[in-house]
C-alpha cells in the first residue's frame, strides 16, 4: 500500500517554483532517503507531506487523505528538523511529557535512554541547548514518538561525527524492531547509504530518480580511457558525469544500459570499467552541471 502519493505537485513561492510537477509514490514501512542539493525542494516536499504547507497545484495524499489541516495525519506523523520551535517556557522533561501525551506509540524508555546516552540535560530549556544538542534532542523526539510516518529533514545538522553515526545506528535498530515509514532527507548520501532501503533524488523541484538502494548501486557505470574512443561509442544523452583526467584521457559515468556490443567494443579499446559509488552517483545526478568544480577553473 502506498502511504504517500504525490501527483504533479507544484509549489510556487512568489515567482519561483520550489516544486514543479513532482510525482512520487512511497510504499509503507521503508526507510527512504531523500537526496538533493540545497534549494532542490526537499524541505518544501517534506513539509507538504507533513501538512504544514499547501501545494499550489497537483494532488498530495498521505495515508490516503489530504494532509493539510488533518488531525489523523498529524497524530500519525512527526516532522523533525533543526528549526523546531519549542515553547521557550518548557524544559526538556516537560517537552517529553507533552510528546508522551500526544503520541500514542511514544516509548518513554527509549526516549529516557537516548536522552541519558547523549547527555541531554533534562532541566535545560530547549533554546539553551547547543545547536548539535538541539538536533540530537529533536532526533530523539522523532525516534521515540514511533509515528507511522516519521520525517527527518536534515536531522544531523550540527551533530558531530560520532553522534551522527550513533543516531543512524539507533534509527536502524529501532526501525528493525518497529517497522514504519521513515523519510530522511540530506544533501549527502555518504553516511546515510548503509541504512536506506530506497532512494529518491530531487533536483529543481522534480523527482529525477526513485529506486531501491540495490538498483541504485547498479544504476551507473564509470568509464575511463581515451576521450575520442569513449565519445565515439557512448551516446551523449546517457552521460551522467564527465571529468577530464588529462588532455586525452577522460572519466565519464553513464547509465548502465550499454549493449553487450558496446561493452566489448569499449573493453577492446582499453577503456576501464568501474562501478560508481552510490554517494558519488547521487552527487553526479543532483548536480546542476555535467562537469565539476574543475570546469570552473578550466581555461577556455
Partner 1 sequence: MSLSHPDLWSVVNKQFKYKWMSYKSVFQGLMIAQIIAMVFSLFGVASSSMGFGFIDLNIQYITGDFVFFFTCLWAFFISVALDRNENRLADQIFVTNSWSRHLANVVFIVIANMIGTITVVTASFFVKMIHIWIFGIDGFIFFGEYTLPGMLIFFIITFFYLILFSSLGYLIGSIMRQGKLIKFGVVLFVGGPLIFTDNSYLIPLFQFFGDESSVIWFILKILLTSMLAIGLTTLVSRRLEVQ
Partner 2 sequence: MFDLMALLPILLFLILVIIVVSIVSKGTYSPNNFFIRRRNVILTGYIAVLSLVSIVYFITVHTQAVVENNEIGNLDEVITDFEEAYQHHNLDHESVKVMNEWTFSSDLEEISIEDPFSAYQLHVENTDQVSDIKVTQFMMNVDHPIINLIPNANVSFQEMSGHILIEEPRSHVEIKVIYEEFPIRQIKDISMFHRDHLVGKRGEESYRQHILIQVPEDVEVNEVSY
User: Which residues here bind partner 2, judged by CB under 8 A?
Assistant: 88-89, 124-125, 127-128
**Site residues (CB under 8 A) for partner 1, limited to 75-114:** 75-76, 78-79, 84-90, 94, 97-99, 101-105
DSSP SS3 for 53 = coil
27 touches partner 1 (CB under 8 A): no
Using rule CB under 8 A, residue 244 touches partner 1:
no
Distance in Å, CB of 88 to partner 2, minimum: 5
Give the contacts of 13 (CB within 8 A, at least 6 positions apart): none
CB of residue 94 to partner 2, shortest distance in Å? 11
Reference 151, options 51, 17, 224; nearest CA is 51
Name which of partner 1, partner 2, none residue 85 binds, using a CB cut-off of 5 to 8 Å depending on partner kind. Answer: partner 1
Contacts of 138 (CB under 8 A, 6+ apart): 80, 81, 82, 84, 155
Distances (CA, A) of 98 to 86, 90, 148, 252, 296: 11, 10, 19, 53, 51
> What is the rounded distance in angstroms from the CA atom of residue 55 to the CA atom of residue 18?
10
The nearest distance, CB 120 to partner 2, in angstroms, is 15
Closest by CA to 165, choosing from 118, 211, 129, is 118
Q: Which does 128 bind (CB under 5 to 8 A by kind): partner 2, partner 1, none?
A: partner 2
Q: Identify what 180 binds: partner 2, partner 1, none; CB under 5 to 8 Å per kind.
A: partner 1
- Alpha-carbon dihedral angle through residues 25, 106, 143, 141, given to the nearest 10 degrees: 110
Choice between 22 and 35, CB closer to partner 1 = 22
CA distances from 90 to 70, 106, 109, 133, 196 (A): 26, 19, 21, 16, 34
Between helices 108-118 and 161-177, what is the axis angle to 10°? 160
251: partner contacted, choices partner 2, partner 1, none (Cβ within 5-8 A by kind): none
Instruction: Closer to partner 2 by CB, 37 or 91: give it.
Output: 91
Residue 76 contact among partner 1, partner 2, none, beta carbon within 5 to 8 Å by kind? partner 1
Interface contacts to partner 1, rule CB under 8 A: 29, 52-54, 63, 68-72, 74-76, 78-79, 84-90, 94, 97-99, 101-105, 141, 146, 148, 178-180
Amino acid at each position: 500500500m502506498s502511504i504517500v502519493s504525490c501527483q504533479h505537485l507544484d509549489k510556487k513561492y512568489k515567482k519561483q517554483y520550489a516544486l514543479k510537477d513532482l510525482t512520487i509514490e512511497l510504499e509503507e514501512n521503508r526507510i527512504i532517503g531523500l537526496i538533493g542539493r540545497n534549494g532542490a525542494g526537499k524541505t518544501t516536499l517534506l513539509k507538504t507531506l507533513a501538512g504544514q504547507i499547501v501545494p499550489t497545484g497537483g494532488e498530495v495524499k498521505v495515508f490516503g487523505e489530504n494532509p493539510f489541516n488533518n488531525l489523523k495525519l498529524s497524530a500519525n506523523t512527526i516532522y523533525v528538523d533543526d528549526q523546531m520551535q519549542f515553547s521557550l517556557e518548557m524544559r526538556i522533561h516537560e517537552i517529553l511529557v507533552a510528546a508522551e501525551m500526544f503520541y500514542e506509540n511514544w516509548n518513554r524508555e527509549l526516549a529516557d535512554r537516548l536522552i541519558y546516552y547523549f547527555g541531554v540535560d533534562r532541566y535545560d530549556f530547549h533554546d539553551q541547548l547547543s545547536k548539535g544538542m538541539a538536533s540530537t534532542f529533536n532526533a530523539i523526539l522523532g525516534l521515540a514518538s514511533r509515528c507511522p510516518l516519521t520525517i527527518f529533514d536534515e536531522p544531523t545538522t550540527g551533530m558531530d561525527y560520532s553522534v551522527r553515526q550513533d543516531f543512524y545506528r539507533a534509527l536502524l535498530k529501532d526501525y528493525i524492531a518497529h517497522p514504519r515509514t521513515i523519510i530522511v532527507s540530506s544533501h549527502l548520501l555518504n553516511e546515510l547509504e548503509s541504512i536506506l532501503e530506497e532512494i529518491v533524488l530531487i533536483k529543481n523541484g522534480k523527482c529525477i530518480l526513485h529506486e531501491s538502494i540495490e538498483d541504485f548501486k547498479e544504476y551507473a557505470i564509470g568509464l575511463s580511457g581515451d576521450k575520442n574512443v569513449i565519445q565515439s561509442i557512448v551516446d551523449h544523452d546517457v552521460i551522467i558525469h564527465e571529468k577530464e583526467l588529462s588532455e586525452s584521457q577522460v572519466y565519464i559515468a553513464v547509465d548502465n544500459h550499454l549493449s553487450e556490443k558496446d561493452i566489448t567494443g569499449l573493453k577492446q579499446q582499453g577503456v576501464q570499467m568501474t562501478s560508481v559509488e552510490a554517494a558519488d552517483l547521487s552527487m553526479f545526478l543532483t548536480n546542476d552541471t555535467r562537469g565539476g568544480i574543475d570546469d570552473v577553473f578550466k581555461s577556455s
